[in-house]
Structure 1
Amino acid sequence: MAELVFFSGTMDCGKSTLALQMNHNHTVAGRAGLLFTQQDRAGEAVLSSRLGLLGQALEVQHDLDFWEVVVSHRMAGERVDFLICDEAQFYDTEQIDQLARLVDEMGVDVFAFGITADFRTRLFPGSQRLIELADRVQVLQVEALCWCGARATHNARTEDGVMVVEGAQVVVGDTNVGASEVGYEVLCRRHHMRRMTRSAAHAAALSPDVLPLDLDICPVPPPRGAASTATG
Protein backbone atom coordinates (compact mmCIF):
# COMPACT_ATOMS: atom_id res chain seq x y z
CA MET A 1 0.00 0.00 0.00
CA ALA A 2 1.07 3.56 -0.64
CA GLU A 3 2.38 5.61 2.29
CA LEU A 4 2.78 9.20 3.38
CA VAL A 5 6.18 9.35 5.08
CA PHE A 6 7.64 12.42 6.76
CA PHE A 7 11.43 12.50 7.11
CA SER A 8 12.31 15.17 9.65
CA GLY A 9 15.40 16.63 11.25
CA THR A 10 17.33 19.82 11.86
CA MET A 11 19.24 21.69 9.20
CA ASP A 12 22.47 19.98 8.13
CA CYS A 13 21.19 16.44 8.76
CA GLY A 14 21.02 15.37 5.10
CA LYS A 15 17.30 15.67 4.27
CA SER A 16 17.77 16.96 0.72
CA THR A 17 20.57 14.46 0.08
CA LEU A 18 18.26 11.62 1.08
CA ALA A 19 15.43 13.07 -1.03
CA LEU A 20 17.62 13.03 -4.13
CA GLN A 21 18.91 9.54 -3.30
CA MET A 22 15.39 8.18 -2.88
CA ASN A 23 14.35 9.72 -6.19
CA HIS A 24 17.31 8.01 -7.85
CA ASN A 25 16.57 4.64 -6.24
CA HIS A 26 12.89 4.63 -7.22
CA THR A 27 13.66 5.82 -10.76
CA VAL A 28 16.27 3.10 -11.26
CA ALA A 29 13.69 0.56 -10.08
CA GLY A 30 11.42 1.63 -12.94
CA ARG A 31 9.05 3.89 -11.02
CA ALA A 32 8.02 7.35 -12.25
CA GLY A 33 7.89 10.28 -9.88
CA LEU A 34 7.80 14.04 -9.49
CA LEU A 35 10.09 16.25 -7.39
CA PHE A 36 8.78 19.29 -5.53
CA THR A 37 10.48 21.92 -3.41
CA GLN A 38 9.94 25.43 -2.08
CA GLN A 39 12.42 28.20 -1.38
CA ASP A 40 15.49 26.02 -1.87
CA ARG A 41 18.83 27.71 -1.13
CA ALA A 42 19.92 27.18 -4.76
CA GLY A 43 16.98 29.07 -6.26
CA GLU A 44 13.56 28.41 -7.74
CA ALA A 45 12.58 24.95 -9.04
CA VAL A 46 15.80 23.33 -7.80
CA LEU A 47 16.24 20.67 -5.15
CA SER A 48 19.78 20.99 -3.84
CA SER A 49 21.95 19.32 -1.23
CA ARG A 50 24.82 20.90 0.71
CA LEU A 51 26.97 18.08 -0.67
CA GLY A 52 26.58 19.60 -4.14
CA LEU A 53 23.84 17.36 -5.54
CA LEU A 54 21.15 19.03 -7.65
CA GLY A 55 17.85 18.01 -9.18
CA GLN A 56 15.23 19.86 -11.19
CA ALA A 57 11.96 20.16 -9.32
CA LEU A 58 8.57 21.84 -9.44
CA GLU A 59 8.36 24.93 -7.25
CA VAL A 60 5.51 24.72 -4.74
CA GLN A 61 3.65 28.02 -4.82
CA HIS A 62 0.79 28.59 -2.40
CA ASP A 63 -1.78 28.09 -5.17
CA LEU A 64 -0.33 24.75 -6.32
CA ASP A 65 -2.75 21.84 -5.99
CA PHE A 66 -0.91 18.51 -5.77
CA TRP A 67 -4.07 16.58 -6.66
CA GLU A 68 -4.55 18.57 -9.87
CA VAL A 69 -0.88 18.19 -10.83
CA VAL A 70 -1.00 14.40 -10.57
CA VAL A 71 -4.38 14.19 -12.32
CA SER A 72 -3.10 16.30 -15.22
CA HIS A 73 -0.05 14.06 -15.66
CA ARG A 74 -2.13 10.90 -15.60
CA MET A 75 -4.69 12.30 -18.03
CA ALA A 76 -1.76 12.98 -20.37
CA GLY A 77 -0.87 9.29 -20.18
CA GLU A 78 2.08 9.74 -17.80
CA ARG A 79 2.65 7.53 -14.79
CA VAL A 80 3.10 9.07 -11.37
CA ASP A 81 4.05 6.43 -8.81
CA PHE A 82 5.63 8.65 -6.15
CA LEU A 83 6.26 12.23 -5.09
CA ILE A 84 9.41 13.61 -3.47
CA CYS A 85 8.46 16.73 -1.51
CA ASP A 86 11.40 18.67 -0.07
CA GLU A 87 11.16 21.72 2.23
CA ALA A 88 7.70 20.45 3.17
CA GLN A 89 7.62 22.60 6.30
CA PHE A 90 6.79 25.55 4.04
CA TYR A 91 3.74 23.90 2.43
CA ASP A 92 0.23 25.03 3.32
CA THR A 93 -1.82 22.70 5.51
CA GLU A 94 -4.30 22.27 2.65
CA GLN A 95 -1.45 21.05 0.45
CA ILE A 96 -0.51 18.44 3.06
CA ASP A 97 -4.14 17.27 3.00
CA GLN A 98 -3.87 16.96 -0.80
CA LEU A 99 -0.78 14.77 -0.41
CA ALA A 100 -2.62 12.49 2.02
CA ARG A 101 -5.52 12.23 -0.40
CA LEU A 102 -3.16 11.21 -3.23
CA VAL A 103 -1.85 8.39 -1.04
CA ASP A 104 -5.30 7.15 -0.04
CA GLU A 105 -7.24 7.57 -3.28
CA MET A 106 -4.61 7.21 -6.02
CA GLY A 107 -2.05 4.95 -4.38
CA VAL A 108 0.79 7.45 -4.88
CA ASP A 109 3.69 7.16 -2.44
CA VAL A 110 4.60 10.53 -0.91
CA PHE A 111 7.99 11.08 0.69
CA ALA A 112 8.09 14.46 2.43
CA PHE A 113 11.24 16.02 3.89
CA GLY A 114 11.41 18.99 6.19
CA ILE A 115 12.34 20.76 9.38
CA THR A 116 9.91 20.20 12.23
CA ALA A 117 10.27 23.46 14.19
CA ASP A 118 11.39 26.99 13.40
CA PHE A 119 14.05 29.14 15.09
CA ARG A 120 11.57 29.96 17.88
CA THR A 121 11.01 26.21 18.53
CA ARG A 122 7.47 26.54 17.14
CA LEU A 123 6.15 23.89 14.76
CA PHE A 124 5.83 24.90 11.12
CA PRO A 125 2.16 24.50 10.06
CA GLY A 126 3.14 22.15 7.23
CA SER A 127 5.24 19.99 9.55
CA GLN A 128 2.53 19.90 12.19
CA ARG A 129 -0.02 18.68 9.64
CA LEU A 130 2.42 16.05 8.38
CA ILE A 131 2.91 14.75 11.92
CA GLU A 132 -0.86 14.57 12.30
CA LEU A 133 -1.46 12.70 9.02
CA ALA A 134 1.68 10.76 8.13
CA ASP A 135 1.72 6.97 8.15
CA ARG A 136 5.28 7.22 9.44
CA VAL A 137 7.43 10.01 10.84
CA GLN A 138 11.12 9.19 10.57
CA VAL A 139 13.83 11.21 12.27
CA LEU A 140 16.94 11.06 10.11
CA GLN A 141 19.78 9.00 11.52
CA VAL A 142 22.52 11.40 10.42
CA GLU A 143 22.85 13.68 13.44
CA ALA A 144 23.81 17.31 13.07
CA LEU A 145 26.02 18.53 15.91
CA CYS A 146 25.95 21.60 18.11
CA TRP A 147 29.25 23.50 18.44
CA CYS A 148 29.72 21.80 21.82
CA GLY A 149 29.66 18.33 20.25
CA ALA A 150 26.22 17.33 21.55
CA ARG A 151 23.43 16.29 19.19
CA ALA A 152 21.81 19.35 17.61
CA THR A 153 18.04 19.42 18.07
CA HIS A 154 17.13 23.06 17.40
CA ASN A 155 17.57 25.57 14.59
CA ALA A 156 18.80 29.04 15.57
CA ARG A 157 18.53 32.17 13.42
CA THR A 158 21.28 34.78 13.55
CA GLU A 159 21.28 38.37 12.33
CA ASP A 160 24.59 40.18 12.17
CA GLY A 161 26.07 37.23 14.00
CA VAL A 162 23.64 37.49 16.95
CA MET A 163 20.96 34.89 17.70
CA VAL A 164 17.39 36.20 17.47
CA VAL A 165 14.13 34.69 18.72
CA GLU A 166 11.62 37.06 17.12
CA GLY A 167 10.69 37.81 13.53
CA ALA A 168 8.92 36.28 10.56
CA GLN A 169 8.70 32.50 10.67
CA VAL A 170 10.08 32.08 7.15
CA VAL A 171 13.29 33.88 6.17
CA VAL A 172 15.47 32.01 3.69
CA GLY A 173 19.06 31.62 4.78
CA ASP A 174 21.77 29.00 5.17
CA THR A 175 24.20 27.68 7.75
CA ASN A 176 27.24 29.02 5.89
CA VAL A 177 26.88 32.80 5.69
CA GLY A 178 28.80 35.86 6.74
CA ALA A 179 28.24 37.62 10.05
CA SER A 180 26.42 40.50 8.35
CA GLU A 181 23.74 38.25 6.85
CA VAL A 182 20.70 36.36 8.10
CA GLY A 183 21.91 32.85 8.79
CA TYR A 184 21.13 29.69 10.72
CA GLU A 185 23.00 27.48 13.16
CA VAL A 186 22.02 24.16 14.68
CA LEU A 187 22.28 23.92 18.47
CA CYS A 188 21.52 21.51 21.29
CA ARG A 189 18.47 22.47 23.36
CA ARG A 190 20.56 23.80 26.23
CA HIS A 191 22.51 26.23 24.11
CA HIS A 192 19.47 27.24 22.08
CA MET A 193 17.60 28.20 25.25
CA ARG A 194 20.64 30.14 26.48
CA ARG A 195 21.21 31.75 23.05
CA MET A 196 24.77 30.49 23.07
CA THR A 197 25.88 30.20 19.45
CA ARG A 198 29.37 29.23 18.36
CA SER A 199 30.44 32.86 17.95
CA ALA A 200 28.92 33.85 21.31
CA ALA A 201 30.75 31.03 23.06
CA HIS A 202 34.01 32.01 21.36
CA ALA A 203 33.57 35.65 22.38
CA ALA A 204 32.81 34.64 25.97
CA ALA A 205 35.87 32.42 26.14
CA LEU A 206 38.08 35.31 25.03
CA SER A 207 36.56 37.86 27.38
CA PRO A 208 38.64 38.65 30.52
CA ASP A 209 35.39 39.57 32.30
CA VAL A 210 34.05 36.01 32.23
CA LEU A 211 35.40 33.52 34.72
CA PRO A 212 35.88 29.93 33.50
CA LEU A 213 33.04 28.76 35.78
CA ASP A 214 30.67 31.13 33.98
CA LEU A 215 31.21 29.54 30.59
CA ASP A 216 28.26 27.47 29.46
CA ILE A 217 29.93 24.44 27.92
CA CYS A 218 28.07 21.18 27.40
CA PRO A 219 30.08 18.00 27.97
CA VAL A 220 30.61 16.01 24.80
CA PRO A 221 28.55 12.78 25.12
CA PRO A 222 30.47 9.46 25.05
CA PRO A 223 30.26 7.34 21.86
CA ARG A 224 27.17 5.21 21.67
CA GLY A 225 27.70 1.78 23.08
CA ALA A 226 30.67 2.88 25.21
CA ALA A 227 30.74 1.43 28.71
CA SER A 228 29.93 3.88 31.47
CA THR A 229 31.66 3.98 34.84
CA ALA A 230 30.40 5.22 38.17
CA THR A 231 32.28 6.31 41.23
CA GLY A 232 30.99 6.54 44.75
Structure 2
Amino acid sequence: MLRFFAGPMGAGKSTLALQMAYNYRSAGREGVLLTGPSRDGRMSSRLGVAEDAVQITESSDLVGVLMGSSFAVVDEAQFLTPRQVEQLAAVVDRAGVAVDCFGLLTDFRSHLFPGSGRLVELADEVNRLQADVFCWCGAPGLINARIEGGRVARSGAQVQVGDIGSTYRVLCRQHWAYGITEKGRS
Protein backbone atom coordinates (compact mmCIF):
# COMPACT_ATOMS: atom_id res chain seq x y z
CA MET A 1 0.00 0.00 0.00
CA LEU A 2 1.19 3.51 -0.87
CA ARG A 3 0.05 6.03 1.74
CA PHE A 4 0.60 9.78 1.96
CA PHE A 5 0.34 11.67 5.26
CA ALA A 6 0.25 15.44 4.74
CA GLY A 7 0.19 18.37 7.11
CA PRO A 8 1.67 21.82 7.71
CA MET A 9 4.89 22.43 9.60
CA GLY A 10 4.60 21.31 13.20
CA ALA A 11 1.86 18.72 12.55
CA GLY A 12 4.10 15.84 13.63
CA LYS A 13 4.95 14.33 10.24
CA SER A 14 8.54 13.36 11.07
CA THR A 15 7.56 12.12 14.52
CA LEU A 16 4.90 9.88 13.00
CA ALA A 17 7.31 8.72 10.29
CA LEU A 18 9.85 7.63 12.91
CA GLN A 19 7.10 5.90 14.91
CA MET A 20 5.92 4.08 11.79
CA ALA A 21 9.46 2.80 11.11
CA TYR A 22 9.75 1.66 14.73
CA ASN A 23 6.45 -0.22 14.47
CA TYR A 24 7.46 -1.98 11.25
CA ARG A 25 10.77 -3.07 12.80
CA SER A 26 9.00 -4.22 15.98
CA ALA A 27 6.96 -6.52 13.78
CA GLY A 28 10.18 -8.04 12.42
CA ARG A 29 10.18 -6.24 9.08
CA GLU A 30 13.26 -4.77 7.40
CA GLY A 31 13.05 -1.55 5.50
CA VAL A 32 14.50 1.76 4.49
CA LEU A 33 14.08 5.29 5.80
CA LEU A 34 14.29 7.97 3.11
CA THR A 35 14.43 11.73 3.48
CA GLY A 36 14.66 14.81 1.31
CA PRO A 37 17.59 17.08 0.50
CA SER A 38 17.05 19.43 3.45
CA ARG A 39 17.80 16.81 6.12
CA ASP A 40 21.44 15.82 5.44
CA GLY A 41 20.72 12.10 5.66
CA ARG A 42 18.83 12.28 8.97
CA MET A 43 15.15 11.83 9.64
CA SER A 44 14.53 13.98 12.69
CA SER A 45 11.63 15.25 14.74
CA ARG A 46 11.31 18.53 16.61
CA LEU A 47 10.82 16.32 19.68
CA GLY A 48 14.48 15.30 19.46
CA VAL A 49 14.13 11.80 18.00
CA ALA A 50 16.32 11.10 14.96
CA GLU A 51 17.62 8.26 12.80
CA ASP A 52 19.94 7.94 9.84
CA ALA A 53 18.14 7.83 6.52
CA VAL A 54 18.97 7.59 2.83
CA GLN A 55 18.97 11.10 1.41
CA ILE A 56 16.94 11.40 -1.80
CA THR A 57 18.12 13.64 -4.63
CA GLU A 58 16.37 14.39 -7.92
CA SER A 59 18.41 11.67 -9.59
CA SER A 60 17.77 8.94 -6.98
CA ASP A 61 16.39 5.69 -8.40
CA LEU A 62 13.97 4.56 -5.71
CA VAL A 63 13.29 1.17 -7.29
CA GLY A 64 16.95 0.26 -6.85
CA VAL A 65 17.06 1.65 -3.32
CA LEU A 66 13.99 -0.27 -2.16
CA MET A 67 14.50 -3.68 -3.76
CA GLY A 68 14.64 -6.33 -1.05
CA SER A 69 12.89 -4.15 1.55
CA SER A 70 9.52 -4.92 3.05
CA PHE A 71 8.78 -1.28 3.92
CA ALA A 72 9.87 2.26 3.19
CA VAL A 73 9.17 5.37 5.23
CA VAL A 74 9.69 8.59 3.28
CA ASP A 75 9.95 11.95 5.08
CA GLU A 76 9.93 15.28 3.23
CA ALA A 77 7.98 13.54 0.44
CA GLN A 78 7.05 16.89 -1.11
CA PHE A 79 10.59 16.92 -2.57
CA LEU A 80 10.06 13.72 -4.56
CA THR A 81 9.82 14.13 -8.31
CA PRO A 82 6.65 12.87 -9.98
CA ARG A 83 8.78 10.10 -11.54
CA GLN A 84 10.01 9.02 -8.09
CA VAL A 85 6.41 8.82 -6.84
CA GLU A 86 5.66 6.59 -9.83
CA GLN A 87 8.67 4.45 -8.84
CA LEU A 88 7.27 4.11 -5.31
CA ALA A 89 3.90 3.03 -6.72
CA ALA A 90 5.67 0.45 -8.92
CA VAL A 91 7.58 -0.98 -5.93
CA VAL A 92 4.31 -1.27 -4.01
CA ASP A 93 2.52 -2.94 -6.92
CA ARG A 94 5.31 -5.25 -8.12
CA ALA A 95 7.21 -6.12 -4.94
CA GLY A 96 4.60 -5.64 -2.22
CA VAL A 97 6.68 -3.04 -0.35
CA ALA A 98 4.63 -0.97 2.11
CA VAL A 99 5.43 2.71 1.47
CA ASP A 100 4.42 5.48 3.86
CA CYS A 101 5.18 9.04 2.74
CA PHE A 102 5.08 12.12 4.97
CA GLY A 103 5.28 15.69 3.74
CA LEU A 104 3.89 19.10 3.10
CA LEU A 105 1.00 19.30 0.69
CA THR A 106 1.53 22.88 -0.48
CA ASP A 107 4.32 25.42 -0.68
CA PHE A 108 4.49 28.97 0.69
CA ARG A 109 2.23 30.20 -2.14
CA SER A 110 -0.37 27.49 -1.27
CA HIS A 111 0.40 25.59 -4.51
CA LEU A 112 0.89 21.84 -4.56
CA PHE A 113 4.45 20.57 -4.61
CA PRO A 114 4.90 18.35 -7.70
CA GLY A 115 5.76 15.31 -5.54
CA SER A 116 2.79 15.88 -3.25
CA GLY A 117 0.46 16.35 -6.19
CA ARG A 118 1.56 13.07 -7.73
CA LEU A 119 1.14 11.32 -4.39
CA VAL A 120 -2.42 12.62 -4.14
CA GLU A 121 -3.03 11.22 -7.63
CA LEU A 122 -1.46 7.77 -7.05
CA ALA A 123 -1.59 6.95 -3.34
CA ASP A 124 -3.93 4.25 -2.13
CA GLU A 125 -4.65 6.44 0.87
CA VAL A 126 -4.17 10.18 1.54
CA ASN A 127 -4.40 11.36 5.14
CA ARG A 128 -4.36 14.90 6.47
CA LEU A 129 -2.60 14.82 9.83
CA GLN A 130 -4.81 15.94 12.65
CA ALA A 131 -2.25 17.29 15.10
CA ASP A 132 -3.37 20.83 15.88
CA VAL A 133 -1.18 23.54 14.41
CA PHE A 134 -2.24 27.13 14.99
CA CYS A 135 -1.79 30.52 13.44
CA TRP A 136 -0.77 33.29 15.82
CA CYS A 137 -4.49 34.25 16.04
CA GLY A 138 -5.50 30.80 17.32
CA ALA A 139 -7.22 29.67 14.11
CA PRO A 140 -6.11 26.42 12.47
CA GLY A 141 -2.77 26.87 10.73
CA LEU A 142 -3.04 25.72 7.14
CA ILE A 143 -0.36 27.47 5.09
CA ASN A 144 3.41 27.40 5.51
CA ALA A 145 4.14 31.07 4.84
CA ARG A 146 7.63 32.15 3.83
CA ILE A 147 8.57 35.34 5.68
CA GLU A 148 11.17 37.59 4.05
CA GLY A 149 11.98 40.97 5.55
CA GLY A 150 9.03 40.63 7.92
CA ARG A 151 6.56 40.17 5.05
CA VAL A 152 4.78 37.16 3.57
CA ALA A 153 6.63 36.24 0.36
CA ARG A 154 4.47 35.81 -2.74
CA SER A 155 7.13 34.79 -5.27
CA GLY A 156 10.46 33.05 -5.50
CA ALA A 157 11.82 29.55 -5.82
CA GLN A 158 9.46 26.86 -4.59
CA VAL A 159 12.26 25.08 -2.74
CA GLN A 160 14.99 26.82 -0.77
CA VAL A 161 17.36 24.70 1.27
CA GLY A 162 19.89 25.93 3.80
CA ASP A 163 20.43 29.34 5.42
CA ILE A 164 18.55 31.59 3.02
CA GLY A 165 17.51 34.56 5.13
CA SER A 166 13.88 33.47 5.09
CA THR A 167 11.83 31.97 7.87
CA TYR A 168 8.66 29.93 7.69
CA ARG A 169 5.58 30.31 9.84
CA VAL A 170 2.25 28.51 9.78
CA LEU A 171 -0.62 30.93 9.21
CA CYS A 172 -4.37 30.54 8.83
CA ARG A 173 -5.67 31.07 5.31
CA GLN A 174 -7.01 34.57 6.09
CA HIS A 175 -3.80 35.93 7.62
CA TRP A 176 -1.74 34.36 4.85
CA ALA A 177 -4.01 35.97 2.22
CA TYR A 178 -3.72 39.41 3.88
CA GLY A 179 -0.02 38.98 4.68
CA ILE A 180 -0.44 39.49 8.43
CA THR A 181 2.35 37.63 10.21
CA GLU A 182 1.55 38.60 13.79
CA LYS A 183 -0.87 40.67 15.89
CA GLY A 184 -0.69 44.37 15.04
CA ARG A 185 1.44 43.82 11.94
CA SER A 186 0.57 43.76 8.26
| TM-score exceeds 0.5 | yes
**Equivalence for 1:177:** none
TM-score (norm 2): 0.95
Residue 43 (structure 2) aligned to one of 44, 47, 51: 47
Would you say the 8 A contact 1:173–1:183 is kept in 2?
A: no
The more displaced of 123-132 and 26-35 is: 26-35
Superposed CA RMSD: 1.5
Answer with 1 or 2: which has the greater Rg. 1
Match of 1:107 among 96, 108, 111: 96
**Matches of 2:24 and 2:135, distance apart in 1:** 33
Report the Cα distance in structure 2 between the residues aligned to 1:39 and 1:160, rounded to whole angstroms. Answer: 25
Deviation at 1:130, TM superposition (A): 0.1
Shift of 1:160: 2.6
SS of the residue 1:111 aligns to: strand
Q: Stretches of 4+ moved more than 4 A in 1?
A: none
Q: Where does residue 9 of structure 2 map in the other structure?
A: 11
1:201-229 CA distance string (max 9 Å, x none): 3446xxxxxxxxxxxxxxxxxxxxxxxxx
Q: Counterpart of 2:25 in structure 1: which amino acid?
A: T
Amino acid of the residue matched to residue 69 of structure 1? Answer: V
Structure 2 unaligned residues grouped into runs of 5+: none
> Structure 2: how far apart are the matches of 1:193 and 1:61?
32
Identify, as 1 or 2, the structure richer in strand: 2
Say whether residues 1:136 and 2:125 are aligned partners.
Answer: yes
C-alpha distance in 2 between matches for 1:137 and 1:146: 24
Mapped partners of 2:46, 2:66: distance in 1:
29
Matched residue of 1:84: which SS?
A: strand
Match of 2:175 in 1: 191
- Cα distance in 2 between the residues matched to 1:155 and 1:82: 29
Whether contact under 8 Å (1:161, 1:181) holds in the other structure is no
Q: C-alpha deviations, 1:134-155, integer Å up to 9, x for none? A: 0000011102101000111111
**Match of residue 62 from structure 2:** 66
SS at the partner of 1:148?
Answer: coil
Report the AA paired with residue 46 of structure 1: R
Percent identical among aligned pairs is: 47
Question: How many angstroms apart in 2 are the aligned matches of 1:149 and 1:172?
Answer: 29
Residues 131 and 137 in structure 1, CA contact (< 8 A), matched pair in contact too: yes
Q: Which amino acid aligns with 1:29?
A: A
Question: Is 1:88 matched with 2:77?
Answer: yes
2:33 aligned residue (27, 30, 35)? 35
Q: Choose which of 36, 40, 57 in structure 1 pairs with 2:53.
A: 57
After TM superposition, give the deviation of residue 173 of structure 1 in Å.
6.3
- Which moves more between the two structures, 128-137 or 165-174? 165-174
Partner amino acid, structure 2, of 1:24: Y
Segments of structure 1 that go 5 or more residues without pairing to the other structure are 75-79, 175-179, 205-232
